[in-house]
Homo-oligomer: A and B are copies of this chain.
Amino acid sequence: MATLGLVEYDEATPEVKAVYDDIMATRKTDWINNFWKALAHDPATLRRTWESIKQIMGPGTLDPLTKELIYVAVSATNQCGYCIASHTAGARKAGMTDAMFAELMAVVGMANETNRLASGYQVEIDERFLPSRNR
């Protein structure tokens, strides 16, 4: 279920199929999750979003697991049910253990708490933390 429906592989246009194929090849899986099937009604957004995700989540100075943990942290902060479910699964696949998940949640919870304490108390930024002082 999704606003514009889900585009299954067999009914996809060649353009959409090409993206689906690249997703499965890159992720070494044999299925496509609903997020992409929902976007497929807009091939331009499907392609752009996948290309961006592929570039961003690929090899770099941060390892894939760390990137997935960050994705879950953002999704939990935004309370996005679909994203929490899909990226928690993704993080597990990248190596996240139960203990790591629990620690991740503890940090996310704490950050959300202190974010509001800092704002609510109207705390001024310390001079040492200003960008120009911090490089």
Contacts and interface: CB of A to CB of B under 8 A. Distances in A.
Contacts of A89: 128-129, 134
B48 A52 contact: yes
Interface in A112-135: 112-126, 128-132, 134-135
Interface in A1-57: 1-5, 31, 33-35, 38-39, 41-42, 44-45, 48-49, 52-53, 55-57
Copies of this chain, whole number:
6
Contacts of A4: 98, 101-102, 121, 131, 135
A6 to B, nearest CB: 8
A122 B118 CA distance: 16
A76 B98 CA distance: 26
Interface of A: 1-5, 31, 33-35, 38-39, 41-42, 44-45, 48-49, 52-53, 55-57, 60-62, 66-67, 69-89, 92, 97-126, 128-132, 134-135
A39 B56 CA distance: 15
A132 to B, nearest CB: 6
Given A4-B135, A77-B74, A100-B61, A111 B92 contact: no
A124 B130 CA distance: 11
A70 B111 contact: yes
A103 B71 CA distance: 12
